[in-house]
Amino acid sequence: MRLKRNNQKYKFQLQLKYELMNQNLYNPWKRWRTLFFSRFVLFYIIAIPVLLSSQCSYPTKSKTSKEPQIQIHFISDEYEETKKIPSALLESKDLLLILAELSKKEDPSMRFISTNRTEEIMEVNGKRNSWSEGWVVYVNEERVDGVQMKRGVRVSPSDKIEIRYEAVERVFGRPTP
């Protein structure tokens, strides 16, 4: 294999280079400038850092994952609110204790009627039970009565809990006119 310096083509290029340098026409930085500002290289120098920085700034699912929460929806004609209580993923809590905690914080303010056998919600944010309407608790679309509430209803973050103000039928204790 012939060495570069003995190659005729190389000698000619080298001689041309020296001639251009002597005439101040050859600029060694011109070659680097054209390479740097070519569209292809310019795209990669600008576009890749922009794309990388935009991907880093958006939160990923792993960063936004929050601890599980028990959600309770309060629904009436003039009032609708969702309360969130932090809880462990596999941990279940007694619904009555959760409601009592919310009542203690007055968020929302609640009053209960408690007997030996039953536990019912009497009032939420000033909206009281009447003879024809009242607060009814639903867990996973199933109605929970006062006796079940007294015995204890365990709820977890996967359960759907709604407390609605709706028409109810009272069997006993209705005053006679």
Give me the residues of the chain with pLDDT under 70, please: 1-10, 14, 17-18, 20-42, 54-65, 171-177
Whole-Å CA distances, 57 to 1, 53, 66: 54, 6, 19
Q: Residues 25-42, buried b or exposed e (16+ Cβ, 10 A)?
A: eeeeeeeeeeeeeeeeee
Q: What is the pLDDT of residue 52?
A: 74
Q: What is the pLDDT of residue 126?
A: 85
What is the 8-class DSSP label of residue 137? Answer: E
Q: What is the pLDDT of residue 105?
A: 84
Residues 164/75, Cβ–Cβ less than 8 Å: yes
Q: What is the pLDDT of residue 27?
A: 62
Q: What is the pLDDT of residue 161?
A: 92
Q: What is the pLDDT of residue 155?
A: 92
